[in-house]
């Protein structure tokens, strides 16, 4: 877990508790007009957000390059294109998702009808991190708007170019009386967290997750916490190691390893530990060339602080490949470490950078025990040809998500929920799950006054009523 305890405020901001209160009051007044509840408003906002993503693609890609050295292709695939798809999916299903859902009524209550409706929660706070600073700010925003809420969006100050771009452009596209983008660091976020929100959606590390949850508790505000953790990639003998290595390398070293669902370490069963080493080396060379520092497709570490933390892990195993680094450009080569002691530093906390340790275990039982002895991961990956192993991993382990044969793509299936469990978070979103997160599912019953079939339930309870009721229940 990343334990950042920064206190520096945003340089140009004087966003105090008073300003935070004013912002929330303004948004609440908008919510009270009822306009955000209409289907037309929700769709307009989603279409406007889509226009922002397509018309300002260059602005977004430049910001992502400035903050994280992301290539245009990666920015499109992982952030812009992903969001456009999420909006299209939401727009094409929203009418249906919002339709009241009929529920059957027990005979004892007949005649009556029952159904559920989705109410917007009100004014919600979304706090996003720096690693996919567009995707992780706007994907929850899609759900919040689709559900008819007003939103305060607080992007991460550690991706300053993206934070500035969102602050400048979003109000030009979205209803500025319903969506406020607040830039800032700890003081500004603290001021926001003092306010009463109807939901807080936080993505980031678990230390701050606890601060968010404690602040939310004061107002009994529900929270979604999208956190991280050490996501293993289990490899069983008999799997195609060359393909597994390519997929692990892609999932791990995209965004220089700064991906919450990246495979954190390889959990290699039996001989696969040694056998996969040359395949990982080869896959890195194929994707990033002999000198990844010169690859336009390889990112950089977000800050000196993260760079120093990551380079401190490089000696925790035998270097199979990589290990080079340069503080001036915050470059750390894609690095694979073998012979890693499970108690070493690199295996203690989430790595969140381009260092891939290989830990060896003798068999699947040992792999399952290894996973279950640790915090529940955000994702579990497994490369195996065995149906039995897949069944065992599904039923004998717990993780936010589980993917066989490929890492990270569970996020890209719009019908699947995305979220953690235990230390990797609480709550879920994407697609219809976002609508559930940002709505209250209200139960409604409608029972005609005539005939008054409830007479049998009213006291005084005669022996006849008692008999009838016992038979009916
Ligand atoms: P970060 O430092 O940008 O923090 C996230 C948000 O918390 C920011 O908006 C920041 O301003 C705010 N914040 C930071 N310190 C605070 C404090 N003391 N009080 C109040 N607010 C504060 O991002 P990070 O935490 O370094 O992000 C990396 C972590 O996030 C990793 O653990 C990663 O696994 C996790 N993550 C999870 C997901 C997911 O979807 N589950 C996605 C991305 C990242």
Q: Rounded CA gap, 273 and 277, in Å?
A: 7
The mean pLDDT value for 142-148 works out to 98
Q: Measure the CA–CA gap between 83 and 77, rounded to whole angstroms.
A: 9
CA of 68 to the centre of ligand 1 (A): 15
DSSP-assigned beta bridge partners for residue 403: 381
Q: H or E element: which one contains 149?
A: none
pTM listed for this prediction:
0.95
pLDDT value at residue 326: 98
Distance CA(136)–CA(156), nearest Å, equals 10
Q: Is 157 in the pocket of ligand 1 (CB under 6 A)?
A: yes
In 3-state terms, what secondary structure has residue 182? coil
Burial of 420 (0-12, 13-18, 19+ CB in 10 A): buried
128 Cα to the center of ligand 1, angstroms? 6
The atom of ligand 1 lying closest to the CA of 190 is 20
If one residue of 126, 129, 419 were mutated to test the ligand 1 pocket, choosing by the most ligand atoms within 8 A of its CB, it would be 129
- Nearest CA residue ID for atom 4, ligand 1: 129
Taking the C-alpha atoms of residue 249 and residue 263, their distance in angstroms, rounded to an integer, is 9
Say how many Å lie between the CA of residue 430 and the centre of ligand 1: 19
**pLDDT the model gives residue 1:** 43
Question: What is the whole-number distance in angstroms between the Cα of residue 305 and the centre of ligand 1?
Answer: 14
Work out which ligand 1 atom sits closest to the CA atom of 155. Answer: 9
Nearest CA to ligand 1 atom 24: 204
Distance (angstroms) between ligand 1 centre and the Cα of 203 equals: 6
- Atom 2 of ligand 1: nearest residue by CA position: 129
Given this structure, which CATH class describes domain 17-228+425-441?
alpha beta
Whether the CA torsion 220, 421, 252, 402 is positive or negative: it is negative
Ligand 1 and 378: CB distance under 6 A: yes
Q: In what helix (H) or strand (E) does residue 287 lie, and over which residues does it extend?
A: helix 272-288
Q: Is the pLDDT of residue 458 over 80?
A: yes
Residue 361 host element (H or E): strand 355-361
213 CB within 6 A, ligand 1 = no
Strands (E), 121-187: 123-127, 150-154, 179-181
- CA 228–ligand 1 middle distance (angstroms): 9
Digit-coded pLDDT (tens) for 261-316: 999 999 999 999 999 999 999 999 999 999 999 999 999 999 999 999 999 999 99
Residue 8 confidence (pLDDT): 47
Report the chain's mean pLDDT, rounded to a whole number. 95
Active site positions, annotated: 226, 260
Cβ of residue 168 lying under 6 Å from some atom of ligand 1:
no
Q: 263-298 in b/e burial notation, b at 16+ Cβ within 10 A?
A: bbbbbbbbebbeebbebbbebbeebbeeebeeeebb
Residue nearest to atom 3 of ligand 1 (CA): 129
Within 8 A by CB and 6+ apart from 196, the residues are 24, 219, 221
CA distance 124 to 219: 13
User: Does the fold of domain 232-419 match that of domain 17-228+425-441?
Assistant: no
Given a contact cutoff of 8 angstroms between Cβ atoms, the answer to whether 430 and 437 are in contact is no
CA 26 – CA 127 distance, rounded (Å): 19
**Nearest atom, ligand 1, residue 158 CA:** 3
pLDDT at 4 over 70: no
Q: In whole angstroms, give the CA distance from residue 316 to residue 337.
A: 7
* pLDDT above 70 coverage of the chain, percent: 97
11: Cβ–Cβ under 8 A, 6 or more apart, which residues? none
Alpha carbon of 204 to ligand 1 centroid (Å): 3
pLDDT of residue 234: 98
Nearest CA to ligand 1 atom 8: 156
Q: Please give the backbone phi and psi of residue 358, each rounded to the nearest 5 degrees, phi first.
A: -110, 120
Q: Output 461 or 16, whichever has higher pLDDT.
A: 461
Does 79 contact ligand 1 (Cβ within 6 A)? no
Q: Summarize the confidence of residues 78-83 as an average pLDDT.
A: 97
Residue 462: the pLDDT is: 96
Band (pLDDT 50/70/90 cuts) for residue 13 is low
Which pLDDT tens digit goes with each residue over 226-253? 999 999 999 999 999 999 999 999 999 9
The residues spanned by each domain of the chain are: 17-228+425-441, 232-419
Atom 30 of ligand 1, residue of closest alpha carbon: 204
288 lines ligand 1 (CB under 6 A): no
Query: How many angstroms does the Cα of residue 403 sit away from the middle of ligand 1?
Result: 24
Is the minimum distance from the CB of 186 to ligand 1 under 6 angstroms? Answer: yes
Q: What is the pLDDT of residues 119-143, one digit of tens each?
A: 999 999 999 999 999 999 999 999 9
pLDDT given at position 2: 43
16 has pLDDT over 90? no
What own/partner pairs with CB < 8 Å and gap ≥ 24 does 49-53 have?
Answer: 49/83, 49/87, 49/138, 49/141, 49/142, 49/145, 49/173, 49/174, 50/84, 50/87, 50/88, 51/173, 52/169, 52/170, 52/172, 52/173, 52/174, 53/80, 53/83, 53/84, 53/87, 53/138
Please work out whether the CB of residue 27 comes within 6 Å of at least one atom of ligand 1: no
8 Å CB contact between 72 and 61? yes
State pLDDT tens for residues 186-208. 999 999 999 999 999 999 999 99
Q: Quick check: 326 and 356 in contact, CB under 8 A?
A: no
Question: What ligand 1 atom has the least distance to the C-alpha of 419?
Answer: 41
What confidence score (pLDDT) does residue 240 get?
97
Sheet of 232-235, strands arranged across: 318-321, 335-338, 355-361, 265-269, 232-235, 379-383, 401-404
pLDDT at 12: 47
Q: Could you identify the residue written with the tokens 């334990």? A: 3
Dist CA 320 CA 274 (whole Å): 10
Compute, in angstroms, the gap from residue 208 CA to the centroid of ligand 1: 7
pLDDT tens sequence across 18-52: 999 999 999 999 999 999 999 999 999 999 999 99
CA distance 98 to 302: 40
Q: How far is CA 176 from each of CA 40, 84, 192, 305, 455, rounded to the nearest angstrom?
A: 16, 21, 18, 35, 53
| Protein residue with its CA nearest to atom 17 in ligand 1 | 186
pLDDT of residue 5: 39
Give yes or no for residue 2 CB within 6 A of ligand 1. Answer: yes
Residue 94: predicted pLDDT: 98
3 pLDDT more than 90? no
Secondary structure (3-state) at 446: strand
Q: With beta carbons less than 8 A apart as the criterion, state whether 83 and 53 touch.
A: yes
Among the four given CATH numbers 3.30.450.20, 3.90.700.10, 1.10.287.130, 3.40.309.10, the one describing domain 232-419: 3.40.309.10
């Amino acid at each position: 877990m990343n334990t950042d305890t920064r206190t520096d405020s945003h340089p140009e901001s004087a966003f105090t508790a008073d300003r935070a209160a004013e912002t929330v009051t303004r948004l609440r007044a908008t919510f009270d007009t009822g306009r955000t509840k209409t289907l037309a408003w929700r769709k307009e906002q989603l279409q406007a957000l889509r226009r922002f993503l397509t018309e300002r693609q260059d602005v977004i890609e430049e910001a992502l390059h400035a903050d994280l050295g992301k290539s245009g292709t990666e920015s499109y695939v992982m952030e812009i294109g992903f969001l456009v798809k999420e909006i299209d999916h939401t727009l094409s299903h929203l009418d249906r998702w919002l339709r009241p859902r009929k529920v059957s009524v027990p005979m004892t209550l007949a005649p009556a009808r029952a159904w559920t409706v989705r109410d917007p929660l009100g004014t919600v706070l979304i706090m996003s991190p720096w690693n996919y600073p567009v995707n992780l700010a706007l994907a929850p925003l899609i759900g919040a708007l689709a559900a008819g809420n007003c939103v305060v969006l607080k992007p991460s100050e550690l991706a300053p170019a993206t934070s500035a771009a969102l602050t400048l452009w979003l109000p030009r596209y979205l209803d500025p009386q319903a969506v406020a983008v607040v830039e800032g660091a700890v003081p500004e976020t603290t001021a926001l967290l003092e306010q009463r929100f109807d939901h807080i959606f936080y993505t980031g590390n678990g230390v701050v997750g606890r601060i968010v949850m404690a602040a939310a508790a004061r107002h009994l505000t529900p929270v979604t916490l999208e956190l991280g953790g050490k996501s293993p990639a289990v490899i069983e003998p008999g799997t195609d190691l060359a393909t597994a290595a390519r997929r692990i390398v892609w999932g791990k070293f995209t965004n220089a390893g700064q991906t919450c669902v990246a495979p954190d370490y390889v959990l290699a069963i039996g001989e696969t530990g040694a056998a996969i080493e040359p395949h990982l080396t080869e896959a890195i060379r194929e994707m990033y060339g002999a000198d990844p520092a010169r690859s336009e497709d390889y990112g950089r570490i977000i800050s000196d602080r993260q760079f120093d933390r990551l380079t401190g892990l490089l000696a925790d195993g035998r270097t199979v490949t990589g290990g080079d680094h340069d503080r001036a450009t915050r470059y750390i080569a894609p690095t694979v470490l073998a012979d890693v002691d499970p108690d070493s530093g690199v295996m203690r906390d989430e790595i969140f950078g381009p260092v891939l340790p290989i830990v060896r275990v003798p068999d699947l039982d040992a792999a399952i025990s290894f996973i279950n002895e640790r915090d529940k991961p955000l994702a579990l990956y497994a490369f195996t040809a065995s149906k039995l192993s897949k069944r065992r991993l599904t039923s004998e382990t717990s993780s936010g998500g589980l993917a066989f044969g490929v890492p990270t793509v569970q996020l890209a299936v719009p019908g699947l929920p995305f979220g953690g469990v235990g230390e990797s978070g609480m709550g879920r979103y994407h697609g219809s799950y976002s609508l559930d997160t940002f709505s209250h599912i209200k139960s409604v019953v409608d029972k005609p006054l005539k005939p008054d079939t409830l007479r049998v339930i009213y006291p005084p309870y005669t022996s006849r009523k008692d008999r009838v009721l016992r038979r009916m229940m």
